Amino acid sequence: MSTRTKGLWMVVIAATMWGLSGTAAQWVFQQKHITTEWLVFVRMIASGFCLLAFASFRGIPLFHIWRERNSRLLLISFSLVGMLGVQYTYFLSIAYGNAAAATLLQYLAPIYIVLYFLIRERKHPSVSIWGALILATCGIFLLLTNGKLSALSISFPAFLWGIVSGVLLAFYTICSAKLLKKWDSLIIVGWAMVVGGVVMIPIVRSFLGPFFTLDFPTIVSILFIVICGTLLAFLLFIESIRYLSPTESSILSSVEPLSAIIASVLFLHVSFGFFQTLGSLLIITTVILLGKQKIVSSS
């Protein structure tokens, strides 16, 4: 197997795990009534400590990032607004709606990033950007209405939290880019998850209690979300960049919403109409088009 093929498989598996973990989260929220706050806490604390342990195993210093004031402040902002904000709002969107719609709405983050840099650098959108924005708008409309103006296909809270999740993911991306110029990704994401999880402690009433009252399938689903959908998916995606360009990895990650849609339809029997499917394809196409060109500066 060539290194490029290995990289392709890594990013596809990682994106698939992300999509499936969203579907698993929908099941535990809506069928087993696990709270969003508890699942976010468990996911972030467990994955964060595992990532830091892996970084330590690789000989990466764990605490140097906290010794520099600018890096420390940026990491705290990234942890609370980026990491915790994205995780919490994404899971809220799933809890109020479904994993497929939540993933697609979050997947609009590249559009917000493009708009941010265009405003910051006072540039006018090109024809290709206008085309991508129109595709995204049409995609959202079809996803929400399934072609019918009289009613929404998903609840308004699910739509609202999905949009907020996408905006926060844009902040996550921009903020992490500044940290990645100096620090290893394992350190950044590991500490961000730990800090975000610690902040959730006052909200979570019992840390281990729910595990003792849940049935086996629910525990397996939670472990899949934490281990496969967070820890392994992140590690595979980061490793894929060794063999592929970041742009290629990002484009291939479009497998995530596709896997979320397929899993939601097959396993949770989520209704996904023709126009919703068309809208989903438009959103994915938008992200691919934006990923193929350099639209903003790297600063």
Give the integer Cα–Cα distance in Å for 165 and 90.
Answer: 5
Q: Is residue 19 part of a domain?
A: yes
Cα–Cα distance for residue pair 214/244, rounded to 1 Å:
41
37 assigned to some structural domain: yes
Q: Quick one: pLDDT at residue 119?
A: 83
Nearest to residue 179, comparing CAs of 66, 275, 255?
66
Long-range interactions of 209-217: CB distance < 8 A, separation 24+: 210/34, 210/38, 214/32, 214/34, 215/32
Is position 187 within any domain? yes
Q: What is the pLDDT of residue 95?
A: 93
pLDDT higher than 80, residue 240:
no
* Residue type at 171 in one-letter notation: F
- Domain range enclosing 192: 3-291
CB-count exposure of residue 266 (10 Å: 0-12, 13-18, 19+) = exposed
Residue 279 lies in a domain: yes
Which tokens in the block code for residue 123? 């540039």
Domain count, the chain: 1
Q: Is residue 214 part of a domain?
A: yes
Per-residue pLDDT, 299: 37
Residue 299 belongs to a domain: no
Is residue 219 domain-resident? yes
* pLDDT single digits (tens) 17-54: 988 999 999 999 988 888 899 999 999 999 999 999 99
Residue 169 lies in a domain: yes
pLDDT digits (tens, 9 = 90+) for 134-192: 887 888 788 777 777 666 678 889 999 999 999 998 888 888 878 888 999 899 999 99
125-133: which pairs have CB atoms within 8 A and are 24 or more residues apart?
Answer: 126/295, 128/289, 128/293, 129/290, 129/295, 131/289, 132/286, 132/289, 132/290, 133/286
What are the backbone dihedrals phi and psi of residue 194, each rounded to the nearest 5 degrees, phi first?
-65, -45
Distance between CA atoms of 54 and 56, rounded to whole angstroms? Answer: 5
Beta carbons within 8 Å of 95's beta carbon, 6+ residues apart: 26, 29, 30, 36
State residue 298's pLDDT score: 38
For every residue of 170-185, DSSP letters joined together read HHHHHHHHHHHTTS-H
